[in-house]
Chains A and B, each alone.
Chain A
């Protein structure tokens, strides 16, 4: 995955109404690029078909006594 540039970060920040000073752009870019690159490298079969986590534990998984 191609790294986001400082210019990309500025544009993204504008889309969420956030200002990032020039002095912080490189740092934010490194931090965000690390997450996005690692997430994009996770290639797990059928991940798109999964329904996200139910918040409560399913009854049969739990130990009750």
Chain B
């Protein structure tokens, strides 16, 4: 195989070639490092590239595999993680000037789990400052969307989306509070899974909102996503809220059989003027629903009246929680934040307790509404976003109150399942052409708590019956 072709393999296929010794981990890592050197200046996906460490890890993996100590499908596979995830001895910045020299002494549990799976860390990925969700706020400059370098790769895991779509890593980790895995997956035409809250340890990941934060994969295929979540999930004594529920073999459960599956199409996201879905996205999601019928699933229309409020509710909760983690920072180091982060933190610091508490009550009502829907269907589907990736506006500041409200409401598309704490996945469901650029559209699939397997299999059946994943960005 030509070296420059290696990064275009899926993580699954790369792992198979490494297992069979047709390709060595050193060859794989070298191919990715070469591509990062060439392409990263365009995408700005990496904050830190761990060149020497990755090569050392690759040599070690090669030796282990040659000695018969094969660790599994990620052994020798080059990965990268959001720079919110602690890495022992490697700077972890949160894309903030304030954390630019923070070097953790210990790995986050998810990174430790990746290490134990034999994965090789290529580096740490860009994000919006403190994972707040503004594409321009990174102290290292904004990451760029490989489908159109002028567009947002999706927040807050901007680098995870850009690097994975740009073939700068085989699979990646993001962190999702209000949608930060699914947003980049949607904008970049990838598969991103927010796991059930409690499925994956949060230990060693700089938090945003302790009761909503999750860590999960952003990958190019459903199988890659299944491999990655399988390697990081599970109970962790260091995170007391992680579940003891057994981890299924997510990859083996991918059979593409949807016969008898009941799917709820959430109409509120397709019909509401307030939520503002674009016609291209609506058509793509309706077509996907029809496609599921042809695959043997039953598709029912579902209404969730609280859906349109969920963006506002989740922002009220998560911004308040986030600023409460380090209340002194905004008092003493306000000017060290990006302007947009500073304004958001200052506003969050002033949200009255009764408003926050009302949001928490609404959260329970949303959760009940979602669980009620799961009494009649197995999974729910809807758009991941109102439309394709928007252009990056480098001018800081809140434009006006109407725009601020619009941004809050847009958060509903992904906020609904964050509030419910259930697994939700984004997958490409077509493309639209804007200004001469081809941009991905995205479908979201949500499932019952701890039923990632059904969510993944639904996505797998869809992915295997179309060719969206074979279309590559040109940049």
Contact = CB atoms under 8 A, between A and B. Distances in A.
Contacts of A12: 350
B71 interface: no
Contact of A28 (B245, B313, B347, B364): B347
A56 B349 contact: no
Nearest to B346: A28
B451 interface: yes
Interface residues of B, number: 54
Nearest to A42: B309
B467 interface: no
Interface in B342-385: 342-344, 346-347, 349-352, 355, 357-365, 367, 371, 374
Interface in A37-64: 37-39, 42, 44, 47-48, 50-53, 55-57, 61-64
Interface stretch (B115-123, B156-164, B290-298, B399-407): B399-407
A54 B451 CA distance: 19
B134 to A, nearest CB: 12
Nearest to B309: A42
A13 B95 CA distance: 26
B449 A57 contact: yes
Contact of B331 (A17, A34, A51, A53): A17
A2 interface: no
A12 B349 CA distance: 9
Contact of B346 (A24, A38, A61): A24
Interface in A1-42: 3, 9, 12-13, 16-20, 24, 27-28, 30-39, 42
Contact of A62 (B245, B350, B359): B245
Contacts of A32: 347, 350-351
Given A27-B398, A38-B405, A52 B346 contact: no
Contacts of B350: 9, 12-13, 16, 18, 28, 32
B167 interface: no
- Give the interface centre of B312, B342, B355 by most chain A CB atoms within 10 Å: B312
A61 B449 contact: yes
B349 A16 contact: yes
B349 A52 contact: no
B312 A35 contact: yes
Given A32-B350, A33-B401, A44-B306, A53 B360 contact: yes
Given A18-B331, A44-B365, A28 B343 contact: yes
Contacts of A52: 357, 360-361, 363-364
Nearest to B375: A61
Contacts of B451: 62-63
B269 interface: no
A18 B330 contact: yes
B346 A20 contact: yes
B362 A47 contact: yes
Contacts of A17: 331
A19 B358 CA distance: 27
A21 B84 CA distance: 29
A42 B306 CA distance: 9
Interface of A: 3, 9, 12-13, 16-20, 24, 27-28, 30-39, 42, 44, 47-48, 50-53, 55-57, 61-65
Interface of B: 196-198, 211, 241, 245-246, 248, 306, 309, 312-313, 315-316, 319, 330-331, 342-344, 346-347, 349-352, 355, 357-365, 367, 371, 374, 397-398, 400-401, 404-405, 408-409, 421, 447-451, 454
